[in-house]
Every structure is written in structure tokens, then in C-alpha cells.
Amino acid sequence: MTAVHRRMLVALCAALALVCATGANAAIVTSHDDQGRQITFDVRAPNVDTEWYASVLRASAHGNEISDVTIRIVPESQIPGLCGGEDASACYTGRSGPPTIMIAAGKSQILEDTLLHEYGHHLDTYWRVSGVPELNGTPAWWAARGMAALLANHQVAFDYSLGWSHGIGEIFAEDYSYIHTGDRYAIRWLSPPDAALKAALFAELGTPTELPFAPEVPSVLNRRGTLVPRDRFSIPFSLLGPGRRVTLAATVTKPKRKGIRARAQLVCDGHVVVSRNFGKGRSKRAFDIHNLGPADCDVRLVSNTGVSLGYTLRLTLAVEGTT
């Protein structure tokens, strides 16, 4: 079967699968890469275009391991509960159970980056570096990134003891995503992969093709939880270019308490862009900031009191003119 015929068959199957997935609470949908390897989706959200997710993975550098993972697509609001953290945007479970990528339903540049990051974790579990504990990336990556020296200097760890951005597995996953997209890179203390590292990884993993179109549509995150006394909740994100808009609507419980019990802040490149106080009698705060970026930012909810506070956040990231 030629590549053209394979793509026609894949498109037909995807169209039929989309009909099935929208008519039920859950559906197993399959697609294939250009070598005929199966890609499996567990669809648990309505109106999901599984073929878009498949086309991202099909275009990526990968091998036979693509048939050993299931991509579970759920409503974005379910991700924190499934992935064990209010700040989670996706997760991979292959280290503790059947290889599964949990990811939100949609179609955007952020989701494209996120899917590739989580697939990087899947690759990591299937590649071994001789004499090095997991998680360790791939042999070519370990050598080209100088991971042995970074480990000896206590700059990285096999776990999260030095923080998320110093975890070897997270660095590999970010590198894998970045060599395909060239945009978001969340490891701020380390330079993104250069041309030499990119070439080494593609020589090892395979040559990718052009990624499918991913619109930079507004991204909406809804979070709720509890701030313990003096706690802080943060959602980090990157604004890739100029003309970005950040909108936040937040609520915090216990409005009858005296004084300022919490603050909602937007911080970009280390500077506080805006801060809103939750004082007595005020349970809701909001801000809508235009013309931001490019920048690395995070939205923070900071407790300023000795009691626990319930909160809800709705964060919207958009390009000017898209909302």
C-alpha cells in the first residue's frame, strides 16, 4: 500500500471514528502511522478530532513504541484529577501502569506541544542508556546533552528532588517537544536544544515530517482547590509573541475575614504585571491584560492568612482579536 493510499484510508477511518466517539461516553479509536503502526485513542470527550492528534504523532520522530501507548482524550476540567495536581496540563502513566497519555480535548499549538512532551516521556521509558538508571532519555541525547556532567555537578536528578525543571525525564521530554516545534521551552535554566542536538536526536529516533496545522486559539484553564495557610498556587505559561492577552477570573472563600487574605497576580519575566487583593467583603477578583509577550509568565494565587482558603480560577490565554 502506498503512503497516499494509507493516508486516504486513515482519513476515512478517522471520519467514521469521530462519528462513533461523539455518540457515546467513551470510544476506542485507532489510526495508523505511515508505516502501518497502530495508534490507539481512548476518547472520553465529545466532538474530538482524533485524526488531528494522530497526525501530530504520525509526523513526529518515533518507532514501534507508538503502538504500545494509548492516548486518552478527556475534557480539560478532568486533567487535574486524573493527573494528580491542580497545575497539571497532561500526564503519562507508563512508569506506574499501562502506558497511557492523558490529554485534554481540543486542537491548538499548546496541545501540540503538550502531546509531544508526553510522548517524550513514553519514548524515555522504551529507550535504555547503558549503566544509567531510568529515567534517562536516549543514548544519543544523554551524551549530546552532557547529562553525566550535569548529574555529577548535582544540577539534575532522576527524580524531582531538585525541582521539576531539573528532573532528567522532564528535560528530555521538553527537548523532544522542542526539536519538533521550536517554540515553547519550559526548562528556563538550560538552553533549548541546538542544531547539533536536534540532528543527533533525529538521527537516532527517525526523521519527522511537517507537523499539522495547530491554531493558536484561546486556551482556557479552569482550576479549583484549597490554599493552606501562607500557600501559593501557580500556573506557569509562555507567551510566544507580541499581542497576547491574559484574562483571569478568581474567587476566594471566607470574605468576612479582616485584612487581605489572598492576592491574585500575573508575573512575567520576574516582574509583577498586575496584582489584585482579596480584602474583607471581596470574594471575586479579575484582570484582563492586553499586549503582552513574548514572555515567560505565571498566574499566582497567594495566601496571606493563617486559615485554609478555597479557590476557583479561570485563566484564558489568547492572541489579540481571537476572543
Work out the average pLDDT over 129-148: 96
Residue 5 has pLDDT above 50, yes or no: no
Model pLDDT, residue 221: 83
- Please compute the mean of the pLDDT values over residues 15-41 and round it to a whole number: 74
Predicted local distance difference test score (pLDDT) of residue 84: 84
Q: What pLDDT sits at residue 322?
A: 53
Residue 208 C-alpha cell reads as 519527522
pLDDT at residue 4, as a whole number: 33
- The number of C-alpha atoms within 13 Å of 156 and in the hemisphere containing its C-beta is 23
Which pLDDT band, with edges at 50, 70 and 90, does 13 fall under?
Answer: very low
Q: Could you tell me the pLDDT band of residue 1, with boundaries at 50, 70 and 90?
A: very low
Q: 254-285: b or e for each residue (b if 16 or more CB lie within 10 Å)? A: eeebeeebbbbbbbbeeeebeebebeeeeeeb
**pLDDT of 24:** 45
- pLDDT tens digits, one per residue of 54-63: 999 999 999 9
This prediction's pTM: 0.74
Angstrom distance (rounded) from CA 234 to CA 299: 6
pLDDT of 154 higher than 70: yes
The tally of CA atoms less than 13 A away on the side-chain side of residue 241 is 6
Residue of 47 and 237 predicted with greater confidence:
47
User: Over 80: is that where the pLDDT of 12 sits?
Assistant: no
Average pLDDT, the chain: 89
Q: Which residues are within 8 A (CB) of 170 and not within 5 positions of it... i.e. 6 or more apart? A: 164, 187
In the predicted structure, residue 118 carries a pLDDT above the cut 50: yes
199-226: average pLDDT: 88
Tell me: pLDDT of 211 over 90.
Answer: yes
Interval 252-286: pLDDT, tens: 999 999 999 999 999 999 999 999 999 999 999 99
* Banded pLDDT at 3 (limits 50, 70, 90): very low
Q: Which pLDDT score is estimated for 25?
A: 63
Q: Which residue has the higher pLDDT, 319 or 253?
A: 253
Question: What would the pLDDT profile of 60-74 be if each residue is shown by its tens digit?
Answer: 999 999 999 999 999
Quote the percentage of the chain above a pLDDT of 90: 72
Distance, in Å, from the CA atom of 242 to the CA atom of 240, rounded to the nearest integer, reads 7
